[in-house]
Structure 1
Amino acid sequence: MRTRSPRAGWRALDVGDLRGAISDFDQAGQIREDVGLGTEDARPVIAGIVGFAVIAHAEAGAFERAEALLADAGLDGELPEQMVFNPLLHARASAHLLARRVDKAVADFRELGRRHARWGLRRPSPPWRSSLAVALVARGERAEARELARAELELARVWATARSIARAERALALAANDPDETIAGLTSAEQRLADGPWRLDRARVRCELGAALRRVGERRAARELLARALDEAHACGAEVLATQATEELRASGARPRRRALSGHDALTPSERRVAELAGRGRTNREIAQELFVTMATVETHLSRTYRKLGVPGRAELAAALAERDGEPEPAT
């Protein structure tokens, strides 16, 4: 089995491979032993690792796990005013937004903006302006959202990367009052992301563009985009987005294809995470402690995994998972 590291997790998250990112962060998350989690000196070191792990789990719909990671690292409250905590603050706010805790998301995004202003930072990374804009749209505060998105779009054009521009275009489109502006902005963002490696960003924009087209009666075009978004969301392991795309497809009159009922693609991120730990020899109790879940949850995930993979029990898990990953079965 390949050696995993935070760097591998960051790369996987960047291209929308949430299953890979979660697996990498969990294995690299010998964080406690490696850097002495719990000591004040270690907090800046683990902030980046925890932040990216939090957003991966939140995108996968594992909100309790994301919260537990923050709490266990002592990063769920007020954070020191150091630049190293900026990505964590953005990730924490993004996780709140995915969980529909909009007020908490707005508070964290605003705090990140205050810190950027204090330090005179003029860059679209982390993209706090567009992220705050999307959160404000959820509260119906579109005027401020448009101002923030326009400001980030100007910065992104100087930054000159397709992804940063697309994120700002997406936020500005969602904040628009005119449906035609929304569709035009999301179309531009989708085209910028079309040939890049950012699968999750692309799937999200396609889902939102499909929803916008549905609302103006363009049902056929909407269904095509939404179906592609749903497929990409499933491929990424993005359960929150997959649910959104499924709901939009049903609203368009379509009947979304059922997810795979067996095989590796049928595993949820939580099931795969439990299975990988079990395949590496961890006991149910050890898995429950590491993932901050109950023993009953572990047992449920394992029983479902055995059925989906068609294996009789724990001893066959490592080989079954390695078969999908293209890795040799570990020697015993």
Structure 2
Amino acid sequence: MLERLRQSGYKPDAASAGAVAETCSAVRADLLPARLRTRPPHFRAVAEAVAVAGHADPDILALLADVPESLVRTVLAGLRADGLLDGVEPERLRRTLFCDLPADVLRRQHARAARLLNDAGRPPVDIAPHLMALRTANEPWMRATLRAAARDTTDHPTAIRYLEHALAADPDDIATLVDYAHSISDRAPYLAHELLWTALDRATTVRDRAVLATELAWLAPATPRAASAAPVLGTALAELTGVLGPHPTGPDRDLHARSEAARLAAVWARPPAVLDAPVPAGDTRAERDLLALRSFSDMLAGRSAVTASDRARAALSESGSLGWQHALATFVLAMADEVDAAKSGFDRVLATAGDAGWTQALTRMLRALVLAEAGDVPAAVADAQTAVDAVENVDTARVVLATSLYRAGKTATAMRLLPDRDINVPVLGNPLALMLRASLAETDGDYAHALELSTRCGSMLAEMGVENPLIAPWWVNAARLHALAGDNRAAMAVADRYADVAERWGSASARGLALLAAGAVESDTEVMAEAVDLLAGTPAEWHCTHAELALGEALLRLEDRGGARRWFRSAADRATRCGYRGVAAHVRSRLIAAGGRVRQASDGRGGGNVLSGSERRIAALAAAGATNREIAARLRVTVRTVETHLTSVYRKLGVPGRMALRTDSEPKD
């Protein structure tokens, strides 16, 4: 062993530890056949049983090797004493001991091991590797074991291989097909869609039709074609209710809850006008999935931020892996001004989403929108770009990237990204694209076209049943542009209508925008100042920047140049801090027009102006002496999120650690 290590050139340090362990394992395995030739035959029988079974449980090895259990224990002790058992991987043992064994003999060994392990009640993940060594899983218990192992394993590619092996043995098995379609739906939604439709055509029972229609509808956010399953699901649900009754119990309760969730998933961008179904308690994963989609529907319809966020938090109490539905629930928290909690939720979803696929893309898109609004534009651009890279042909991801780049001041690049055709996630993509085009038209001085685009955005959202005032706040721009055009009646109608909508949703940012619209229409600087004060206490940095800019413009029109300069300067500082470079440049020009002077911009090492809102809050608490765990509890985020933000704070401020924050985290004059 030492000679092998010397020949390999490994050094006795931590960097070589893994390679040294691998070499030692290989040497032990290579020595085993020679050692076994000097021992009685039952030694080899036990060693082969260990290689096949993949573990050293004496009771199972005794059955597999056909050796008394007491003798098995003696053999295991001898192998351990020789250093030939511990630290040697079963796969390496198999290659060493069975190199000359015919394949069919080895398969019979695996089949026997699988039966023994199954009869002994071992976990499916212990049995599945033996079943994978067989040509086919031709018995029902084998396929059931593979399905169970696929659910239990934490390795997604392995789960898919287990299900493919089971499906190859019985392509018509509905349970296996559903599990397989579910496992590939995130990365291959169109293939999952085709498999489920084909199976639905062959389904003969009410339960099978309900299960297949449910899974089809669940694919709707990832593939628009799956939305066509909504009528089929409606029929299947009606049939299922006729069989199960209105209040099913046990596994049927979960099926009913998942079917109701799928009904919302199929029309996820169009909230139902009335949700008359009872709100689930959230006791099971299916019910928590339903709560996630109920919260998103509530948010889109603008029903109540408190109710929607309560349901979102209940959905996010899920302790297992999170999916795209949880990303939607997390976005609800952000729309209710709970941005720090939303960031923590997004982190949890991404932790189990993998590096590609629909869940990754949707989560990154939603987080990019939240970060761009909350004043962390570089992170928003990075998330949006990752979303574009994660999936093919998702125009919404490009719209989100364009929106983030526009806020970063990269207007030309943003314009090139906007698609000309209809977008496949309409509730996000189409309104955002129209809002962005309206902003660009207003920047070019084409106020009539900007108003037309804003109004079209409002009509599109109304057609979809979306009334949340924050999804795409076209109405703020429309009210202001109507007033600029001299149409005060139209301006007041829009402002009054959405004042009621904002009050119903109830978040501070929505109410602040309503005050801003009313103040702009009435040229009431006191109301606009109230809007600024309200928005400044929320994470809505983008809207607050524009509110300060609008207030400065209103004061300048009243020839209050000092007041205008104050708000222009505040808007410029906020825009610079958040990375809104285009807005910052525009506001600085307005500051000069009001007779002010432009302060030199920070280089990123001089103070808190470069910190995002979340970073400033965490830095302030850390400077006051709070521990990471205390900060996490207060802001309702994870400790990992606090650590990540503090690392960013130290880098931006150029300080070595939290002890330096007391003096360095405050903006310098």
In the TM superposition, 1:81-160 aligns within 5 A as 82-83=426-427, 85-97=429-441, 99-100=443-444, 101-124=446-469, 125-160=471-506
In the TM superposition, 1:156-167 aligns within 5 A as 156-167=502-513
> Which letter does structure 2 place at the counterpart of 1:253?
G
Q: Deviations over 1:24-67 (max 9, x none)?
A: 3224431xxx3222xxxxx4xx41x3333222222233221111
1:35 to 391, 403, 419: 391
Q: Deviations over 1:133-190 (max 9, x none)?
A: 23434544443222111111111111111111211221222222xx4x2x02211211
1:102–1:135 contact (8 Å) kept in structure 2: yes
1:207–1:229 contact (8 Å) kept in structure 2: yes
> Which letter does structure 2 place at the counterpart of 1:164?
A
The aligned residue for residue 17 of structure 2 is none
Could you say if the C-alpha distance between residues 8 and 160 of structure 1 is closer, same or farther in structure 2, counting changes exceeding 3 Å?
A: closer
1:26 to 375, 385, 408: 385
The aligned residue for residue 372 of structure 2 is 13
Deviation at 1:192, TM superposition (A): 0.9
1:55–1:94 contact (8 Å) kept in structure 2: no
> Which letter does structure 2 place at the counterpart of 1:131?
N
2:373–2:543 contact (8 Å) kept in structure 1: no
1:193–1:202 contact (8 Å) kept in structure 2: yes
Unaligned residue ranges in structure 1 (runs of 5+): 38-42, 266-321, 327-332
The aligned residue for residue 316 of structure 1 is none
> Which letter does structure 1 place at the counterpart of 2:554?
A
- Percent identity reads 22
Unaligned residue ranges in structure 2 (runs of 5+): 1-349, 607-649, 655-669
Tell me the number of residue pairs that the alignment of Structure 1 and Structure 2 aligns.
Answer: 255
1:55–1:91 contact (8 Å) kept in structure 2: no
In 1, distance between residues paired with 2:438 and 2:375? Answer: 15
In 2, distance between residues paired with 1:88 and 1:121? Answer: 13
> Which letter does structure 1 place at the counterpart of 2:372?
L
In 1, distance between residues paired with 2:464 and 2:368? Answer: 29
Which structure has the greater CA radius of gyration?
2
> Which letter does structure 1 place at the counterpart of 2:501?
L
Could you say if the C-alpha distance between residues 60 and 95 of structure 1 is closer, same or farther in structure 2, counting changes exceeding 3 Å?
A: farther
1:239 to 572, 578, 581: 581
In the TM superposition, 1:276-295 aligns within 5 A as none
2:527 to 173, 185, 194: 185
Could you say if the C-alpha distance between residues 129 and 208 of structure 1 is closer, same or farther in structure 2, counting changes exceeding 3 Å?
A: closer
Q: Deviations over 1:245-272 (max 9, x none)?
A: 2123222222121335x5679xxxxxxx
The aligned residue for residue 50 of structure 1 is 398
In 1, distance between residues paired with 2:366 and 2:426? Answer: 22
Deviation at 1:81, TM superposition (A): 9.7
In 2, distance between residues paired with 1:87 and 1:219? Answer: 36
> Which letter does structure 2 place at the counterpart of 1:204?
H
Could you say if the C-alpha distance between residues 325 and 191 of structure 1 is closer, same or farther in structure 2, counting changes exceeding 3 Å?
A: closer
Could you say if the C-alpha distance between residues 212 and 64 of structure 1 is closer, same or farther in structure 2, counting changes exceeding 3 Å?
A: same
1:81–1:115 contact (8 Å) kept in structure 2: no
Deviation at 1:324, TM superposition (A): 4.0
2:381–2:405 contact (8 Å) kept in structure 1: yes
TM-score, scaled relative to structure 2? 0.34
In 1, distance between residues paired with 2:569 and 2:426? Answer: 42
In 2, distance between residues paired with 1:143 and 1:195? Answer: 31
1:51–1:87 contact (8 Å) kept in structure 2: no
TM-score, scaled relative to structure 1? 0.64
In 2, distance between residues paired with 1:135 and 1:61? Answer: 23
In 2, distance between residues paired with 1:169 and 1:228? Answer: 19
> Which letter does structure 2 place at the counterpart of 1:17?
D
The aligned residue for residue 519 of structure 2 is 173
1:89–1:108 contact (8 Å) kept in structure 2: no
2:536–2:544 contact (8 Å) kept in structure 1: yes
2:482–2:488 contact (8 Å) kept in structure 1: yes
In 1, distance between residues paired with 2:481 and 2:406? Answer: 16
How well do the aligned residues superpose, as a CA RMSD in angstroms?
A: 3.6
> Which letter does structure 1 place at the counterpart of 2:398?
V
In 2, distance between residues paired with 1:53 and 1:211? Answer: 29
Deviation at 1:84, TM superposition (A): 5.0
Highest RCO, 1 vs 2 (Cα 8 Å, sep ≥ 6): 1
The aligned residue for residue 199 of structure 1 is 541
Could you say if the C-alpha distance between residues 84 and 29 of structure 1 is closer, same or farther in structure 2, counting changes exceeding 3 Å?
A: closer
Residue 413 of structure 2: SS of its match in structure 1? helix
1:59–1:238 contact (8 Å) kept in structure 2: yes
In 2, distance between residues paired with 1:118 and 1:152? Answer: 16
